[in-house]
Chain A
């Protein structure tokens, strides 16, 4: 029986429609999904929040060599979120709409690949 598995525990908000961020309650800095303490002031008092679903394309590339999970060509990029952090993401829709640095991108949560009969669920960004 095929299961849907999230690629990394703690990546998404509870309702699974946004990436999780962590805000330091002491100094206010915001970090990406995997922060366990504040990298700026060292505080362990973090509150989780939903990161923006939209951001801007900071840079991108189309890769022509395979990886363990991905068949080429695939597109990957850095997305700059309004919170001031940059997220590495696979890109979607790059073969239909030309990418360029600075364009608006939005989050999609979907299957990335199959592994041992299960669907691996992750995130991508696509041009708005």
Chain B
């Protein structure tokens, strides 16, 4: 396996953009990434493009046609919220194994024009989904259980939303650039007790893209590559939910594999972008990613450790809560954010001295198994 670097990233604004076409959004992000990498579109040899919410064929090819990337291996992928990370993994794999030298990763989503607009995400094809176990309901059940089991508080969960919205104010690409107080989060409309509206990610449209390059070709394009030190993608297993229905053993397993691949431990990570579809999810993920021991996520919030300026800033972009969550775009968007921090281009939200950063996404729910997919990438200078 060869080392693979990110040599360019780009994205569209995230927000409600129903007037734009999917291909238009994807092309904007791809064009920005191609420009950032100073790569000739004709030199791109492989492209993976993730999308979930629209039944559309050959989206990668349609985007490629707009930006001069044609006549190469192109793959369109779906893995729910982990789709973007899956596309990244696909291109990484194609380059790391030596098949190609340069590839394009695209994640693009337009929720506002899809059948998901304004609805709670639910799997209505299985029994649990049909009796009302929507994604927010599931998040609320985990939240309540954490409070009962470990003494975490509604305020600690709400503080995560306050933090991520504060971070989002510093991100020009974020859907929401608006501060909220703890009271505003706690008093916003109840979605599924004790989870409130401002603790849930919004409907979003947007795209993100990245150019990956094999180690031996990197010097042609940049003197400051960002290296992919670990790439993990995994499906869930039987019985994990029986151990603890609230916990994502899949994330714990992927994190362990990613740390092993990168040859580091969680204490060496300087920055994390994780899947905060709900404020409650972020608190659980602190524990599952090993940022703190089980049950101590609330304490980590109280210490301010995961805020900008803290020991281990989490979601400096604003996360899904404030940056927005165009499902398949989010995993690639995280790589944009991390690449900017690792190359000192993150502007007002720059986490200074970032050397190692971790990106985490989970996708979908499969009856009896839990999250359908988890993908973790570790990147470094």
Binding site for B on A (CB under 8 A): 7-8, 11, 32, 34, 39-40, 58-65, 67-70, 74, 76-78, 84-86, 88-90, 101-102, 112, 122
Contact = CB atoms under 8 A, between A and B. Distances in A.
A64 B241 contact: no
Interface string B364-381: 000110000000000000
Contacts of B170: none
A78 B124 contact: no
Given A59-B142, A59-B144, A61-B144, A85 B242 contact: yes
Interface stretch (B171-179, B191-199, B321-329): B191-199
A102 B137 contact: no
B190 interface: yes
A62 B145 CA distance: 14
A91 to B, nearest CB: 10
B239 A68 contact: no
Interface in B86-140: 120, 122, 124, 127-128, 130-134, 136-137, 140
B241 A86 contact: yes
Given A61-B192, A67-B122, 13 more contacts: A11-B127, A34-B127, A60-B141, A62-B190, A63-B192, A68-B122, A69-B132, A70-B131, A70-B132, A74-B132, A77-B141, A84-B242, A86-B245
A95 B130 CA distance: 22
- Closest 6 pairs between A and B when the two form their complex, measured CB to CB: A39-B238, A61-B140, A101-B148, A59-B145, A59-B141, A63-B192
A78 B245 contact: yes
Nearest to B190: A64
Contacts of B245: 58, 78, 86
Given A67-B134, A69-B132, A122-B131, A60 B239 contact: no
Contacts of A88: 127-128, 131, 133
Contact of A64 (B133, B145, B192, B238): B192
How big is chain B's contact interface, by range? 20 to 34
B246 interface: yes
Interface string B132-168: 1110110011101100100000000000000000000
B189 interface: yes
Contact of A67 (B132, B191, B195, B242): B132
Interface of B: 120, 122, 124, 127-128, 130-134, 136-137, 140-142, 144-145, 148, 189-195, 238-239, 241-242, 245-246, 367-368
Nearest to B118: A65
A64 B195 CA distance: 10
A63 B128 contact: no
B145 A101 contact: yes
B119 to A, nearest CB: 8
Contact of A68 (B124, B148, B242): B124
Contacts of A67: 120, 122, 124, 132, 134
A63 B132 contact: yes
A122 B137 CA distance: 19
Contacts of A7: 127, 130-131
Nearest to B193: A62
Contact of A76 (B127, B131, B195, B246): B131
A69 B144 contact: no
24 contacts: A7-B127, A7-B130, A11-B127, A40-B238, A61-B192, A62-B193, A63-B132, A63-B191, A64-B191, A64-B192, A68-B122, A69-B130, A76-B131, A76-B132, A76-B137, A78-B141, A86-B242, A86-B245, A88-B128, A88-B133, A90-B131, A101-B144, A101-B145, A122-B131
A59 B142 CA distance: 7
A48 B128 CA distance: 21
